Structure 1
């Protein structure tokens, strides 16, 4: 009995000591955080977490306040009595600190405070809390990127008055822009699965020195999750399952990922599937946005049907599948091999803005669908750090292959002819990026890039009554190619912690080739082949200066360019009813020259203001203008007499703007933040200046966020100013069917706002519940230039289970 009592005493004591062990994890990724400093108020007691994120806090008293501090996470304090039963402490990543790291500025890690340009950082925990349906929605949630939508399966970002092929998208360092990225609204960003995103960095302003052609208005850099390796001899297994439902479009989404990690090998598998129904708009707003009728096709032909609920936007439903497989091999601490395979496909996506057009009083189209938007990427990277080479300290080599497939299928009301145009692009790229420390104060970055695109395009006409197929003009010249070679360098000089100077140069050589013989059967162009050669030299210089603890100044000047691609020199399509765009081989690059001045004021983290102003001059702008083909200003296209247009270097543009951001902790648990952007600009149209199409109205958001333990609440407003009739670009005025009508019967874009609520609750260490009620007041609105109305009142529920 004495032995049993003694054994029980020691067993209880042992269990009590074990209970003093805690684990510190990242709140979102659930990964252990190494080297967290744990201490009391006078720091007389302190310990550090090990590589498992574990620490023994037995020396601390139960009621004693314990601080948890880590450089990349928000300081947290609590007592042992406040610990959860699982003895787990969750820290939030600090995305606002001065020591935040960004990659996109040079393709190597730098402190964000050293960059003279403004960069928006969106970390994985923010993505998971925002819970976006697509990556386009993820960008819109920042309040600094404006997003246009022509259909539910879309999202065309606008940054500082630029959009589409004047913005660059990268995924894990690979250029996504290809030879057929167009000047019209572009929706490729939705191919990136938001569930796989680890970090997103949006560079506001030119990025041509690092990224070359197209990076005029900004660069959107997406970085997906990497396989995690094990720090022990045991296999590291991590898995997440997510299900989500949204009421406005009857969204049903499921996601699964699995990480297998060994000491030197790691594998990450991800799969997501989303099914979206027809989108329901809000109840209160302009009647012009309603969907009173739609077309159905029966055995008896096309019929116009009255919509039983005009708030339902028929047809907008589609589905999407995203797959990703990544592998990592790390034989040494300074050497890593990464392989990534990405695949995205959609169903047919109805282009809603074309389905609501009328010809007199009759709906113009019986059907208008984008075919499945398919994207495949194979990406292989070799990264070596801490080299003793005289040429570099760090080197990253990237080899990638991408394949893009897209198509368009349309048929006029009561017509038996369906027009089908399909495109495929094979894109190969090779990059070498290097970093060398020349002195303790000077970093040198340099690299080279080669990109080759091959375009395949076909056009055909199908008779739906007898399935007969006949050839017709294709959208692009079949077999066209686009290639770019470049070399770049930049230097960073930091003489002291308060001052940083960065400058860079890039030279690009671009060649486009096209053969129009197949399309000349239909168009009779004055040329059968085309070769467009362009060289471009761009540069940047800027400073970041922090004269004291409160103030940080950013000043940057840069030039950027966009070389004509196959979409510019060789496209044939109907830009709008009664208008056709034809090829033009005499194009030159357009150039942008701009400057940015920014000021950040940090009043001891009690109030943070981030102010930016910018100005951009676009010269030799590639724009769509009236044209003649063989002396004719009108030709027959798809059976309709159409006015001829072509892309031309026929304009100049001036764009300017101001941005302000605010962050203010009200209490330890309550924080206010806000963003607001004002943009203006005009372009040259003949002898007059007119508004620019992609200059968005003033817009922003305001968030009030409350955090308590494992509970997070966010009440936020999104808002948007109006664009009066006189402020619309001429090309937008011609799309009257997209807009509301003012008192004079003219199209305009009304102002709007939404009230929204979002919450996240960590049920336990494995389960996270996220819920939101968006557009609470059920407003009916369209974002500027969009062809589809935004969701009405929308309830979203998501459940995540982690192992």
Structure 2
């Protein structure tokens, strides 16, 4: 009997070894997917995944081609053998139209996109992988819906609806990145977010101050990074991918690797990316004024002006960057979830390219011998606790605590000068927020919460004699030890007035405190401190209406605000040649009032048209204007007599425009997609004089012709930017004539341009994927509006990715 039992056990074990149970998972969330139809070529053999995503493949042969199909997911064809090599797990990606259904940005909880009256655009991980951007700034640019300015290769400053920099809010995993020294000039912080780690980006167009508070006047860019995946078996699962990318225009070499470890109740995700960018090469056909004809070298203790042997090569624009991400998640049961995210990004030094090409006053040389940023560093530790379940006051509650550290520095020295000036800034930022979701009050869903943010700024300046190496103290850029903090409460409600009509409305009150002590060692400030306490009330109300199942009309009104920060109140810096900005502690918040009308029409699931028209009015605008310092309109700054300016509540502005998009699905392989954005803006100062708004982007758009099947996706597309003539150029831009082309009257202007481009992705095997792109095929030489660096010429981009 004992031998018989042993034989039976052996037979059972042998049979179980031939049995193959698999788990079907969502590629983005790692969650099980039920009701996946699984069948062979002639559908004589079938299976279906259950509620836990489980399915049995015993009816299929080892090398037989098996199809996985679901109405919401992309179809997958593979074999039992290949699935077995992947740990009996099958990952399916949502179809593009399904990815648009749920958004997180408007309330910090999942909401149906069709119920949102504001324009929101989502950029998912698969789209990011296809466009293969070098940085997150390029990720936004590739969407065709966000304009991006670049002062240098290591940069990217988004513009949305006439707003930019500290009037737009950046958020990573629900935590604001904007800090107390985000400036009105162009900012580069978006490049700290690694595009390889992003699972979804949501861009809110128009004010988002109800949820995000100060700075969210023109829009919000929310980056959600990839979450660790749990195992749906009893054992540890290991997965990951490795990617390499090369780009010819700046000789880019990028390497990325990530690793996921998962068990049933905990999981870990680790990501490392290293970028090496060489000097960028511009195109052949375009204005000669864009060429880099001269550069400065240091020889025998002297600055020497040299001719550039290759004027299309933008010397000293290259840089390196490393990004690290470590996330842990622990889910002991269906109620509680604990998430820890650790982000780190650091660049090498990189040149402020637009400053390096400034001519001197005589026009026969260059003004600066050196002008570069020190390493840009960013760290964030983000710990979040989420509880789901029935409660008297909520159905979900989320506690978020985060600490961020920022470091940046600026180094400059004039041509033939011996003194090098350096300012270094560090910011410690603490965020604590508590958010609630209540969805059981009939047709009303409430979202409410509170938030506290604290920033402390550390700033120092120094002066180095490069001949003697003597280092001495110099004026810092900001008041050292200055603090900025805010406390706010908000409530947002979504109410179904009718099955086809949804109302979304909310309100927020924010209190902001600013404290800065001014050091009079270097400048005799007529004040000792800035001690501001300001409050702001913002609100929004909007409707989403479906008069027909295939027609959506939205109407939204909202307000936004921005409270003065340390950059506004306490900064000292050279804003432009011959001008210096000084502190001004007498500032008030600026407010934006916005109205937006949107329409979306679906024609028989073949053509989808989307359009939005908006108008925004800005009052008490914080702008840079001429000022006096101790009664003087000029002072000596860094050894140069400079006109005094300051940030002031000295203007109002209005911005209006339209945004349209079209998608046409010609058949199962061919599609057309197009976007067009037209923005107009005007500023008016306190004297009534009008000028063009600086951050109103030129008309821009794209047209894509797309072909795809299961293995190959190809996109032939055109990018287009309109002209901004001299009369429509902002006053502050006219003073930077060295970055613009010259019209027939000798005045600076921003010419129109276009590029023809090709992009493709091929799935070689289930594990191996290749991308090939050719950008700017006609080798145009162009500079996007307000940018310092010239865009790439013909650029060959190749990438290879392997999933394991």
Q: Match for residue 474 of structure 2?
A: 472
Answer yes or no: is the 8 Å Cα contact 1:33–1:49 preserved in 2: no
Answer yes or no: is the 8 Å Cα contact 1:317–1:349 preserved in 2: yes
1: CA distance between counterparts of 2:272 and 2:78? 40
> 1:374-393 deviations in whole A, cap 9, x for unaligned?
0010100001112x221111
Q: Match for residue 535 of structure 1?
A: 535
Q: Match for residue 49 of structure 1?
A: 49
Q: Match for residue 4 of structure 2?
A: none
Output aligned runs, 1:268-667, within 5 Å: 268-359=269-360, 360=362, 361-386=364-389, 388-516=390-518, 518=519, 520-667=520-667
2: CA distance between counterparts of 1:80 and 1:262? 25
- Where 1:568 maps in the other structure, the secondary structure is helix
Number of residues of Structure 1 aligned to a counterpart in Structure 2:
784
- Where 2:675 maps in the other structure, the secondary structure is strand
Q: Match for residue 172 of structure 2?
A: 171
Q: Given the superposition, is the C-alpha separation of residues 380 and 84 from structure 1 closer, same or farther in structure 2, using an over 3 Å criterion?
A: closer
Q: Given the superposition, is the C-alpha separation of residues 55 and 450 from structure 1 closer, same or farther in structure 2, using an over 3 Å criterion?
A: same
- Where 1:260 maps in the other structure, the secondary structure is strand
Q: Given the superposition, is the C-alpha separation of residues 735 and 64 from structure 1 closer, same or farther in structure 2, using an over 3 Å criterion?
A: closer
Output aligned runs, 1:111-130, within 5 Å: 111-130=112-131
- Where 1:288 maps in the other structure, the secondary structure is helix
Q: Match for residue 7 of structure 1?
A: none
How far is the alpha carbon of 1:542 from its aligned partner?
A: 0.3
- Where 2:178 maps in the other structure, the secondary structure is coil
How far is the alpha carbon of 1:456 from its aligned partner?
A: 0.5
- Where 2:332 maps in the other structure, the secondary structure is strand
Answer yes or no: is the 8 Å Cα contact 1:770–1:799 preserved in 2: yes
- Where 2:522 maps in the other structure, the secondary structure is helix
- Where 2:306 maps in the other structure, the secondary structure is strand
Q: Match for residue 3 of structure 2?
A: none
- Farther-moved stretch of structure 1 (372-381 vs 31-40): 31-40
Answer yes or no: is the 8 Å Cα contact 1:282–1:778 preserved in 2: yes
- Farther-moved stretch of structure 1 (48-57 vs 465-474): 48-57
Q: Given the superposition, is the C-alpha separation of residues 761 and 146 from structure 1 closer, same or farther in structure 2, using an over 3 Å criterion?
A: same
How far is the alpha carbon of 1:802 from its aligned partner?
A: 1.1
How far is the alpha carbon of 1:545 from its aligned partner?
A: 0.6
1: CA distance between counterparts of 2:98 and 2:383? 32
1: CA distance between counterparts of 2:432 and 2:29? 35
How far is the alpha carbon of 1:687 from its aligned partner?
A: 2.2
> 1:46-100 deviations in whole A, cap 9, x for unaligned?
753244564549599x9999782243x24x498999x999999875422334971
2: CA distance between counterparts of 1:115 and 1:476? 40
Q: Given the superposition, is the C-alpha separation of residues 572 and 123 from structure 1 closer, same or farther in structure 2, using an over 3 Å criterion?
A: same
Q: Match for residue 793 of structure 1?
A: 794
Answer yes or no: is the 8 Å Cα contact 1:32–1:53 preserved in 2: no
Q: Given the superposition, is the C-alpha separation of residues 700 and 84 from structure 1 closer, same or farther in structure 2, using an over 3 Å criterion?
A: farther
- Where 2:96 maps in the other structure, the secondary structure is coil
- Where 2:732 maps in the other structure, the secondary structure is helix
Q: Match for residue 35 of structure 1?
A: 34
Output aligned runs, 1:698-713, within 5 Å: 698-713=699-714
Q: Match for residue 736 of structure 2?
A: 735
- Where 1:180 maps in the other structure, the secondary structure is coil
- Where 2:761 maps in the other structure, the secondary structure is strand
Answer yes or no: is the 8 Å Cα contact 2:283–2:792 preserved in 1: yes
Q: Given the superposition, is the C-alpha separation of residues 317 and 67 from structure 1 closer, same or farther in structure 2, using an over 3 Å criterion?
A: closer
Q: Given the superposition, is the C-alpha separation of residues 77 and 181 from structure 1 closer, same or farther in structure 2, using an over 3 Å criterion?
A: closer
**Which consecutive residues of structure 1, in runs of 5 or more, have no partner in the other structure?**
1-9
How far is the alpha carbon of 1:743 from its aligned partner?
A: 1.1
1: CA distance between counterparts of 2:277 and 2:690? 42
TM-score normalized by the length of structure 2 = 0.93
- Where 2:331 maps in the other structure, the secondary structure is strand
2: CA distance between counterparts of 1:173 and 1:163? 20
Answer yes or no: is the 8 Å Cα contact 1:742–1:748 preserved in 2: yes
- Where 1:523 maps in the other structure, the secondary structure is coil
Q: Given the superposition, is the C-alpha separation of residues 725 and 97 from structure 1 closer, same or farther in structure 2, using an over 3 Å criterion?
A: same
Q: Match for residue 692 of structure 1?
A: 693
1: CA distance between counterparts of 2:543 and 2:708? 36
Q: Given the superposition, is the C-alpha separation of residues 448 and 425 from structure 1 closer, same or farther in structure 2, using an over 3 Å criterion?
A: same
1: CA distance between counterparts of 2:607 and 2:91? 25
1: CA distance between counterparts of 2:268 and 2:83? 32
Answer yes or no: is the 8 Å Cα contact 2:19–2:58 preserved in 1: no
> 1:354-382 deviations in whole A, cap 9, x for unaligned?
00001121101111010000001010000
2: CA distance between counterparts of 1:404 and 1:688? 38
Q: Given the superposition, is the C-alpha separation of residues 315 and 285 from structure 1 closer, same or farther in structure 2, using an over 3 Å criterion?
A: same
Q: Match for residue 216 of structure 2?
A: 215
- Where 1:362 maps in the other structure, the secondary structure is coil
> 1:225-249 deviations in whole A, cap 9, x for unaligned?
1111111111011111111111000
- Where 2:558 maps in the other structure, the secondary structure is strand
- Farther-moved stretch of structure 1 (700-709 vs 538-547): 700-709
> 1:13-41 deviations in whole A, cap 9, x for unaligned?
x99x979x888666x76968611432899
Answer yes or no: is the 8 Å Cα contact 1:25–1:53 preserved in 2: no
2:202 is the counterpart of 1:201: yes
> 1:551-595 deviations in whole A, cap 9, x for unaligned?
001110001100000000000000001000000011000000010
TM-score normalized by the length of structure 1 = 0.93
Answer yes or no: is the 8 Å Cα contact 2:34–2:53 preserved in 1: no
Q: Given the superposition, is the C-alpha separation of residues 30 and 228 from structure 1 closer, same or farther in structure 2, using an over 3 Å criterion?
A: closer
Answer yes or no: is the 8 Å Cα contact 2:243–2:256 preserved in 1: yes
Q: Match for residue 267 of structure 1?
A: 268
- Where 2:659 maps in the other structure, the secondary structure is strand
Answer yes or no: is the 8 Å Cα contact 1:98–1:111 preserved in 2: no
1: CA distance between counterparts of 2:116 and 2:407? 37
Answer yes or no: is the 8 Å Cα contact 2:76–2:92 preserved in 1: no
Answer yes or no: is the 8 Å Cα contact 1:23–1:32 preserved in 2: no
Q: Match for residue 4 of structure 1?
A: none
1: CA distance between counterparts of 2:225 and 2:651? 38
Q: Match for residue 766 of structure 2?
A: 765
- Where 1:595 maps in the other structure, the secondary structure is strand
Q: Given the superposition, is the C-alpha separation of residues 66 and 226 from structure 1 closer, same or farther in structure 2, using an over 3 Å criterion?
A: closer
> 1:181-230 deviations in whole A, cap 9, x for unaligned?
00000110000011110111000110000000000000000011111111
Q: Match for residue 3 of structure 1?
A: none
How far is the alpha carbon of 1:763 from its aligned partner?
A: 1.1
How far is the alpha carbon of 1:689 from its aligned partner?
A: 1.4
Q: Match for residue 225 of structure 1?
A: 226
> 1:271-304 deviations in whole A, cap 9, x for unaligned?
1110100000001111111001100112331111
Answer yes or no: is the 8 Å Cα contact 1:347–1:371 preserved in 2: yes
Answer yes or no: is the 8 Å Cα contact 2:171–2:177 preserved in 1: yes
Q: Given the superposition, is the C-alpha separation of residues 65 and 300 from structure 1 closer, same or farther in structure 2, using an over 3 Å criterion?
A: closer
Answer yes or no: is the 8 Å Cα contact 1:240–1:802 preserved in 2: yes
- Where 2:691 maps in the other structure, the secondary structure is strand
**Which consecutive residues of structure 2, in runs of 5 or more, have no partner in the other structure?**
1-10
Q: Match for residue 676 of structure 1?
A: 676
Q: Given the superposition, is the C-alpha separation of residues 582 and 404 from structure 1 closer, same or farther in structure 2, using an over 3 Å criterion?
A: same
